[in-house]
Amino acid sequence: MYRVKQLFGGSLTLRDYDGQVEEAMALVRALNKMTKAGMPESVRIA
């Protein structure tokens, strides 16, 4: 969680609840893309 807060800032910036939910979901999507980019692609050998 520390790394996420360092990358994306420590708090949500929007005031209304629906906006905060969308902002959090956008952060999760961005984090998932970065995580997926760093994962090796596995290939079945046998």
Q: Is the pLDDT of residue 21 over 80?
A: yes
Q: Is the pLDDT of residue 14 over 80?
A: yes
Domain ranges of the chain: 2-30
> What is the torsion angle, in degrees rounded to the nearest 10, for the CA atoms of residue 32, residue 7, residue 10 and residue 31?
0
Name the percent of the chain in helix, strand, coil, to the closest 5. 65, 0, 35
What one-letter code names the amino acid at 24? A
Predicted pLDDT of residue 40: 82
| Closest to 30 measured CA to CA, from 1, 7, 6, 2 | 7
pTM of the model: 0.65
CB environment 14-37: b (16+ within 10 A), e (fewer): eeeeeeeeeeeeebeeeeeeeeee
- Mean local confidence (pLDDT), 4-21: 83
